[in-house]
Amino acid sequence: MSDTVETKTKDGKRTSRAAEILLRKRIPLALHFVLFGICLCFGGWYATRGMLAQSVLGMSASPALRAVIANDVTAFLLGGVTPFLVYFIATRFTYRMMLAGGARSPADQAYLFRTFYALGYLVYGAFSILYFAVPALELYGETIARFLIVGAFVALYVVFECRHGLPKRGRAVALYAYGMVFSLIYLAYSLAELFMTIGGVI
């Protein structure tokens, strides 16, 4: 007997085991939040370590304090702050828009979207390891590559919602919410960081 099919959506479509894990929230909420935070921190770690290293160059603080600031642990913990702020701001709009389109409750939306958003940052964090070997990639990789990778996982979330429970009337809303609203907010963040990075290099 196949183990790839377990449940059905509201419209009778069959779902895979992976989809069932997400739809039934098999991962405990507390653990889900922890994994979400770790993925965001990992994805933002490389950029933050560079920013902190630059910030201590002109500081008159003691060597001990500068060592604490320009530290990989500090960079990892702070690396998730900006990605979380982007997530928090954007989803204040998108969850309500999706709900108006007939989507699942905001809490259920959040559980699913956090999963895909975190996976995007996990993949980007793994990609950013290449910057140690090829530093030239960092300048545009920190904006363009991250935007494309995280954007791809956001798109996968929209596809997932469309395939698993979102009514047809809500699909255009989903495309607008994430294809326009979320993307524009994330693009503004990426461009702002790009200009700051170029300014730091110059």
For 63, residues 6+ apart whose C-beta sits below 8 A from its C-beta are none
Q: Quick one: CA torsion of 37, 38, 39, 41, rounded to 10 degrees?
A: 80
Whether the pLDDT of residue 134 is over 80: the answer is yes
* Residue 83, pLDDT score: 93
Tens-place pLDDT, residues 70-96? 889 999 999 999 999 999 999 999 998
Q: What is the mean pLDDT of residues 176-192?
A: 88
Distance separating alpha carbons of residues 196 and 202, to the nearest angstrom: 10
* Residue 75, pLDDT score: 92
Instruction: Answer positive or negative: Cα dihedral of 147, 126, 142, 89.
Output: positive
Q: What is the pTM of this model?
A: 0.85
End-to-end CA distance of the chain: give it in Å, rounded: 62
Answer with the residue of higher pLDDT: 109 or 2.
109
Q: DSSP assignment, residue 135?
A: G
Whether the pLDDT of residue 4 is over 80: the answer is no
For 117, residues 6+ apart whose C-beta sits below 8 A from its C-beta are 36, 87, 150, 153, 154, 157
Tens-place pLDDT, residues 59-71? 777 777 878 888 8
Q: What is the overall mean pLDDT for the chain?
A: 84
